[in-house]
Every structure is written in C-alpha cells, then in structure tokens.
C-alpha cells in the first residue's frame, strides 16, 4: 500500500495519477515492479488523426445550397426565368472551388486544384459573357489572360517544387516567369484593341529580369551570398 | 415469443436520434460498464454467454441503418464477437470491421466490459444486459443458476414487448419547458491524441461514503455532485481571465425516468437537469453547495418538471416539418446544432447508476463495477459512478492531459476523511 504525499490517495502506480508526484516505497523489492498488474492492457484501439472530411464536405454543400436555392426561387418568382441568379450561383461555385476544394479534397499534387479553380473561373466568365452578349471581350481578352495566368502559375509551382534547384535559382525562375506573363498580358490587351505596341510591361520586365539576374549571380558568388546572409541575420 | 414476432427493425427513440447524426471520431457517444469478477475470464464461455444473452435481449445485436428520413435499428444475422480489452476504451462504434454493432463486449484478466453506443440504450438498459450476461456466464462456468431479479433477467424467458418500447412517446405529456439556458463554464486543456481517453478511477468504501454524505444531510449522489461543483469552482477561481471566472459552473445530472413511470423498457429512457453555481454572486461554502444541489434536484426531480422537459424534446421530434426533411439534410444540421448547443449549457456530466440491484448469489462472484462515460465533444471530462459490493467507483474520463478537477475532487474526499484508492490507464 503506497500513498501520494500530496494527495493522500492510495495507488499502486509509480507516480500519483493526480499530481505526478513519485510514489516511493522504501520497502519495495524490484520484483514487485514486474509483478504489478496494470488495470488496462497495453493494446491501443485504432486512433484517428483525420478530421471528419465527409461531414465537412456535406455540411459545406448544404450551407452553399441554401443561398443558391433562395436566389433561384426569388429570381424565378420575380422574373419568371433564371437570369441574374446565375451571377450569384456562379460566384458561389467559384468560391467553393477556390477555397473549399483545397481544404476538403486531397490531391497528391497541387496542379489539380489550379485546374479546377481556373476551369470554374473560365466557365463563370463565359456565363457572364453569354448573358451580356460579351463574346468579343471574353474570347479576345478574358479567356487568353486567364489561360496565360493558369500556365504561368503552373510553371511557378513547378519551379518552386523543384527542390534540386537552389532557393535563389527558384526565386530567379519565379521572377522571370512573372515578367514574361506581364509581357503576354500586355500583348493580349494590345491585340484586343487592335494595335500591338508593348508599353508598360517593358518597364516591369526590365527590373524583374535584373532582379532575376541578381538572384542567379548571388547563387553563383557563394562568398557574396554568405556576406549578405551574415549582414541580414536576425 | 417467436423469433419472427420480434421486430425486425426498431425506430430510434427520442434520446437516441441525435447520436448517429452527431457522432464523430472524437465524440463517439459511447459509454462503458464493466464488472470485475473474482476469477480470470474464460473467453470461449464468455462468447457463449453473450450469444445466449442476445437470444434473450435480441435488439442488442442490431445494427444502425440510414432510412430516408431517420436512422433505425435493423436486425442482422451476424453476432457480435467478444474482443480483448484496450487501453483506450469507448472508441468509435459502428465500424464495418466490427459488423456495425451498437455494442461491443471486451474482456481483460477478471474484467468483462460492455461498451454501448448511446442510441441503443442508457445506463440502466446496459446494466440489465450486462448483469444478465454475467449471471449466464456464472451459470456456464460454475453450474450455479443465478435466480432472476433486480437487474438480472431470466435467460430462459422470451423477450418481452415492453423491453423494446419507446417509453418517451408513451409517457410524454402536453407540458413544455424552455430549453435555452445561460452558457456554462468550459475547462480548457492540452488535447490528448484523438481517440484516446484519459481515465482516473477512485475507489471508495460505499458505506463510509454514505455515512459521510448523510452527515451533510445528503445522499451519495447529491454529495458527490457538490464535491465536483466545488472542485470545478476551485479550478475556475485560478483562471486569469475575469470573464471566464464569471461564467457559471454547471453540472448535468441524468435522471432515470423509470423511477417516475412504470416503464420496463431496456432502451433509452432518461432525461437530465443542470445544477448551476454562479461564482459571480460571491463565495459559497461547501454546505451552501450541498443545499444548492439538493434544492435544484428537489425541484427538477418533480414529475411535472421532468415530464415537461421530456415532452419538449418529444414535441420537437414530432414536428411535421422536421420529420419530412430528408436525413441527408437533417443529419448535418443536427450535428451542427449539437456542436453549437449540445454541451454549451453544462461544464460536465456526472452519471451515477447507484447501488446495483442484483441477487445476492451473483454478488458473491463480483469484486467491483465501473461506469465510464465516453469522451465529451466540447467539454474536457465527464464522471461516471457506480456502487457494488460496498465499493463505489468514481471514474473520470477526460480528453485533455490536465486533471486538475480530478485532483481537487479526490483531495477533497481525502480531506473529508475518506480512504481513496486511485487507478488510471496511463503508462509511466
């Protein structure tokens, strides 16, 4: 019979389960410890790390379904056709694909999330264009810009995930890709207005490319890199 | 009764409906009753005893299924298999690997443990099943036939219709009570690994405990509730935030409705009431706390109050709009409601099954019994109490590392002159 000196309770354990104070029995033999029976076995039933994703997905869908149904009914009652409610529904679908799909669905690589997100955006803008006779701006401006952004972000992701590259090499690749995407966007905008004349993108391109060059240079000049690291240490 | 005339499916009762919808990996809605015998358990015989007991109380072998509007219990040909006990009891139920049963029977050394999903039954129903099973196990191992009585059913008798009755719908009246209450104080702590339950059990002599409780003019249940309120209040008084210190401490106390109505149901038939201690009003002495619990229990224990609370829940379930909503919509909403409101109004629950009423012949084979409540969802701990053979076992189950309330609780009992022996499921 051993007691905790702080809690006053009897226990067979080595330390008090209530306050963790060691229980010392000067008369105890080594064999006593081996003979001690635990009230519960060693086996542990399966434990869970994961969040209940199935429930979260279902709940999110129901929460989104409520405004969708409300605007659909209001739209139908007020105009007799499905018209402006598509703006709200499309926006909700985009929100779902951008913010909830990455949380609720696990893909091995992140490219699928981008594909789903950009696809929903392309479709949403298409619906808006169709409802406003905006086929021109959609095909000439919105669609190409979205595709460029999609490709550039995919490439940036690829560059960032190339772990065999040095961090500064990856930073140079990202900076260069941003610069190239700006040129592409400028070109698309000019093409839409009918006169291709690269203007503002050049001003963005030059410092960005210079920055990329500095990153590459720093990566090659180890001593300079170390010196900067030393000075900027925090 | 012919096996064919036994219902092949049973609608869930009023209390049971929330559990399948609201359960999760961390909140399992499982509780556990265990009995320690004087001899080591023989697993082969235990399996036979379980099979025989399921013939007597067949719905314990049912599974839960989804209907279009509600869940229901469905019969199945498979029979539950006994399992070896584990360190972390009350884990998730209704697993495919276990045949989706609503109960499991475990054994370890001299112990038989029945773990039950709360949709199946409440503590009293589980106690009857376990005691009937233990009596059958004794008959098979020793040859001694334990006479039925108390919580032991006659194993040779046919299942009785009243045993699977939904007593809520039978005894609900027209009275209604508001359910909204003031938010309760909730303890915080460092979470244990998901699926793990920290257990600390205190074993005290039932006779000494009763004598001590009586010296305060109270019964065991009232006395232990008061000690627990006092323990939580002492932990709350150390909170740094004045806002958290001002929130009332509330304990949820289940009520066995069979005490009020002539129900023989082995399914859920219990309600609860909350006892609130508001530290904002000033300092309470221990005698004050006992009076507070005693008077609250007195008022809340009056039949009209009990019936009105139960009837409010039954009326909500019978709402036509709610009934017509498909389950795939209803279930997540019910779960969300439980997350937001389920444990909002109490700090912890204390469930006391009291002194177990069993035949004396069976008592000779039993060392002690334990009642463990499964992990609460947003609260950090709960407390189960049961007495058998002059031993009262007070079991705290918690989902956090810290056990400050348990420490204050048992230290108070020791200070009041009780001898307490402590056990836990941790590994040093």
Note whether A7 contacts B335, CB cutoff 8 Å.
Answer: no
Q: Do A42 and A114 belong to one domain?
A: no
**Residue B197 CB partners (closer than 8 Å, separation 6+):** B88, B89, B90, B91, B372, B374, B375, B397, B398, B399, B425
Note whether B411 contacts A11, CB cutoff 8 Å.
Answer: no
Is A63 part of any domain?
yes
**A7: closest chain B residue by CA:** B411
Give B396's contacts in chain A (Cβ within 8 Å).
Answer: none
Q: Do A181 and A227 belong to one domain?
A: yes
Give A50's contacts in chain B (Cβ within 8 Å).
Answer: 25
For B92-116, how does the pLDDT look when each residue is reduced to its tens digit (9 = 90+)? 887 777 778 999 999 999 999 999 9
| pLDDT given at position A5 | 93
Domain boundary among A107, A133, A159: A133
Give A17's contacts in chain B (Cβ within 8 Å).
Answer: 200, 403, 422-424, 426
| pLDDT given at position B388 | 93
Q: Do A99 and A124 belong to one domain?
A: yes
Instruction: Give this prediction's pTM.
Output: 0.75
Cβ pair B383, B101 in contact under 8 A: no
Neighbours of B89 (CB within 10 A): 23
**Residue B354 CB partners (closer than 8 Å, separation 6+):** B220, B221, B386, B387
**Does B340 contact A at CB distance below 8 Å?**
no
**B334: closest chain A residue by CA:** A59
Across the interface, which of A18, A45, A49 has its CB nearest the CB of B406? A18
Note whether A18 contacts B26, CB cutoff 8 Å.
Answer: no
Is A217 part of any domain?
yes
Is A66 part of any domain?
yes
| pLDDT given at position B260 | 94
Q: Do A114 and A97 belong to one domain?
A: yes
Note the Cα B154 to chain centre separation in Å: 24
Q: Do A88 and A103 belong to one domain?
A: yes
| pLDDT given at position A27 | 75
Give A8's contacts in chain B (Cβ within 8 Å).
Answer: 411, 414-415, 420
What token pair was written down for A194?
A: 């009918």
> Whose CA is closest to B261, among B224, B222, B212, B311?
B311
Neighbours of B179 (CB within 10 A): 11
| pLDDT given at position A175 | 94
Cβ pair B116, B102 in contact under 8 A: yes
Is A93 part of any domain?
yes
- Looking at the structure of chain A, the number of domains it has is 3
Q: Do A115 and A180 belong to one domain?
A: no
Give A38's contacts in chain B (Cβ within 8 Å).
Answer: 425, 427
Q: Do A126 and A58 belong to one domain?
A: yes
Across the interface, which of B84, B109, B411 has its CB nearest the CB of A8? B411
Range of the domain at A230: 143-234
Neighbours of B419 (CB within 10 A): 14
Place of tokens 């960032």: A160
Choose from A196-205, B171-180, B347-356 the range with maximum mean pLDDT.
B347-356
Report the sign of the C-alpha dihedral through residues B83, B89, B95, B100, in that order: positive
B371, pLDDT greater than 60:
yes
**B97: closest chain A residue by CA:** A46
Q: Do A70 and A124 belong to one domain?
A: yes
Q: In percent, how much of chain B has pLDDT > 70?
A: 98
Instruction: Compute the nearest-CA separation of B196 from chain A (Å).
Output: 7
B420, pLDDT greater than 70:
yes
**Does B403 contact A at CB distance below 8 Å?**
yes
Q: What is the ipTM of this complex?
A: 0.86
Q: Do A94 and A170 belong to one domain?
A: no
DSSP string spanning A80-143?
SS--THHHHHHHHHHHIIIIIHHHH---SSTHHHHHHHHHHHHHHHHHHHHHTT-HHHIIIIIH
**Residue A48 CB partners (closer than 8 Å, separation 6+):** B25, B26, B92, B194, B195
Across the interface, which of B108, B336, B403 has its CB nearest the CB of A18? B403
> Whose CA is closest to B22, among B340, B347, B346?
B340
**Residue A90 CB partners (closer than 8 Å, separation 6+):** A123, A124, A127, A128
Instruction: Compute the nearest-CA separation of A225 from chain B (Å).
Output: 43
Note whether B411 contacts A18, CB cutoff 8 Å.
Answer: yes
Give B414's contacts in chain A (Cβ within 8 Å).
Answer: 7-9
Note whether A10 contacts B422, CB cutoff 8 Å.
Answer: yes
> Whose CA is closest to B103, among B50, B139, B56, B25?
B50
**Residue B155 CB partners (closer than 8 Å, separation 6+):** B52, B53, B55, B56, B132, B135, B136, B139, B148
| pLDDT given at position A33 | 60
Q: Do A152 and A179 belong to one domain?
A: yes
Give A40's contacts in chain B (Cβ within 8 Å).
Answer: 85-87, 89, 108, 199, 425
How far the first Cα of chain B sits from its last, in Å, is 52
Which of residues 136 through 165 in chain B touch A, CB cutoff 8 A?
none
Give B200's contacts in chain A (Cβ within 8 Å).
Answer: 17-18
Q: Do A120 and A152 belong to one domain?
A: no
Q: Do A128 and A155 belong to one domain?
A: no
Note whether A18 contacts B419, CB cutoff 8 Å.
Answer: no
B3, pLDDT greater than 70:
no
**Does A9 contact B at CB distance below 8 Å?**
yes
Q: B168 φ, ψ to 5°?
A: -60, -50
List per-residue pLDDT tens for chain A, 234 residues long.
789 999 999 998 889 999 999 988 777 766 666 666 678 888 887 666 556 677 788 888 888 999 999 999 999 999 988 899 999 999 999 999 998 888 888 787 888 899 999 999 999 999 999 888 877 889 999 999 999 999 999 999 988 887 778 888 899 999 999 999 999 999 999 999 888 888 888 999 999 999 999 988 888 888 887 777 777 665
Is A138 part of any domain?
no
Across the interface, which of B24, B199, B428 has its CB nearest the CB of A13? B428
**Structure-model confidence comparison of residues B372 and A136, the more confident one:** B372
**Residue B142 CB partners (closer than 8 Å, separation 6+):** B365
CA–CA gap between residue B307 and residue B314 (Å, rounded): 10
Domains and CATH numbers, chain B: 3-151 (3.30.559.10), 198-424 (3.30.559.30)
| pLDDT given at position B314 | 86
Across the interface, which of A18, A38, A45 has its CB nearest the CB of B88? A45
**Does B85 contact A at CB distance below 8 Å?**
yes
Average pLDDT over residues B14-41: 86
**Does A46 contact B at CB distance below 8 Å?**
yes
Domain boundary among A90, A109, A133: A133
CA–CA gap between residue B401 and residue B386 (Å, rounded): 24
Choose from B23-32, B65-74, B365-374 the range with maximum mean pLDDT.
B365-374
Which of residues 406 through 425 in chain B touch A, CB cutoff 8 A?
406-407, 410-411, 414-415, 419-425
For B121-154, how does the pLDDT look when each residue is reduced to its tens digit (9 = 90+)? 999 999 999 999 999 999 999 999 999 888 999 9
Give B199's contacts in chain A (Cβ within 8 Å).
Answer: 40
CA–CA gap between residue B60 and residue B267 (Å, rounded): 10
């Amino acid at each position: 019979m051993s007691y905790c000196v702080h809690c006053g309770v009897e226990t067979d354990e080595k330390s008090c389960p209530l306050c963790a104070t060691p229980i010392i029995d000067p008369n105890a033999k080594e064999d006593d410890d081996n003979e001690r029976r635990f009230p519960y076995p060693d086996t542990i039933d399966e434990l869970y790390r994961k969040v209940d994703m199935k429930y979260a997905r279902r709940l999110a869908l129901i929460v989104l379904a409520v405004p969708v149904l409300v605007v659909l009914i209001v739209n139908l009652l007020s105009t007799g056709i499905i018209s402006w409610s598509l703006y709200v529904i499309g926006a909700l679908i985009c929100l779902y694909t951008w913010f909830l799909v990455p949380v609720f669905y696990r893909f091995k690589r992140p490219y699928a999330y981008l594909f789903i997100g950009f696809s929903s955006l392309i479709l949403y803008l298409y619906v808006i264009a169709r409802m406003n006779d905006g086929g021109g701006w959609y095909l000439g401006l919105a669609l190409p810009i979205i595709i460029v952004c999609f490709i550039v972000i995919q490439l940036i992701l690829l560059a960032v995930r190339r772990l065999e590259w040095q961090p500064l090499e990856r930073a140079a690749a990202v900076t260069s890709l941003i610069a190239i995407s700006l040129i592409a966007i400028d070109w698309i905008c000019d093409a839409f207005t009918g006169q291709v004349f690269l203007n503002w993108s050049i001003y963005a391109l030059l410092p960005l490319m210079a920055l990329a060059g500095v990153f590459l240079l720093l990566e090659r000049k180890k001593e300079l890199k170390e010196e900067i690291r030393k000075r900027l240490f925090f | 009764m012919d096996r064919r005339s036994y219902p092949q499916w049973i609608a869930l009762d009023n209390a049971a409906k929330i559990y399948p919808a609201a359960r999760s990996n961390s909140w399992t809605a499982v509780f556990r009753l265990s009995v320690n015998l004087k001899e080591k358990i023989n697993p082969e015989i235990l399996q036979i005893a379980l099979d025989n007991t399921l013939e007597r109380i067949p719905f314990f072998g049912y599974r839960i299924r989804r209907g279009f509007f509600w869940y229901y219990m469905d019969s199945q040909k498979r029979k539950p298999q006994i399992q070896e006990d584990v360190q972390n009891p009350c884990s998730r139920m209704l697993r495919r690997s276990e045949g989706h049963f609503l109960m499991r029977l475990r054994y370890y050394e001299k112990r038989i443990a029945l773990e039950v999903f709360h949709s199946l039954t409440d503590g009293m129903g589980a106690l009857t099943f376990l005691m009937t099973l233990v009596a059958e196990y004794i008959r098979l191992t020793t040859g001694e036939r334990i006479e039925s009585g108390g919580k032991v059913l006659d194993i040779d008798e046919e299942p009785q219709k009243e045993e699977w009755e939904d007593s809520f719908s039978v005894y609900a009246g027209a009275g209604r009570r508001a359910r909204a209450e003031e938010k309760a104080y909730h303890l915080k702590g460092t979470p244990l690994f998901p699926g793990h339950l920290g257990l600390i059990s205190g074993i005290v002599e039932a006779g000494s405990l009763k004598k001590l409780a009586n010296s305060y003019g109270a019964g065991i249940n009232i006395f232990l509730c008061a000690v627990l309120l006092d323990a939580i209040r002492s932990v709350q008084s150390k909170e740094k935030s004045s806002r958290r210190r001002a929130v009332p401490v509330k304990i949820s106390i289940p009520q066995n409705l069979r005490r009020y109505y002539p129900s023989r149901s082995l399914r859920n038939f219990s309600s609860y009431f909350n006892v609130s201690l508001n530290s904002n009003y000033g300092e309470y002495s221990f005698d004050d706390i006992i009076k507070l619990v005693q008077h609250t229990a007195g008022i809340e224990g009056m039949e009209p109050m009990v019936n009105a609370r139960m009837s409010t829940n039954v009326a909500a379930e019978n709402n036509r709009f709610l009934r017509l909503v498909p389950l795939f919509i209803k279930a997540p909403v019910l779960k969300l409601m439980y997350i937001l409101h389920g444990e909002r109004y109490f700090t912890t629950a204390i469930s006391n099954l009291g002194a177990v009423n069993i035949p004396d012949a069976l008592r000779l084979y039993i060392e002690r019994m334990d009642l463990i409540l499964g992990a609460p969802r947003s609260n950090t701990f709960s407390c189960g109490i049961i007495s058998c053979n002059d031993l009262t076992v007070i079991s705290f189950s918690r989902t956090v590392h810290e056990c400050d309330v348990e420490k204050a609780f048992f230290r108070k009992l020791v200070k009041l002159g009780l001898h307490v022996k402590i056990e836990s499921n941790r590994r040093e």
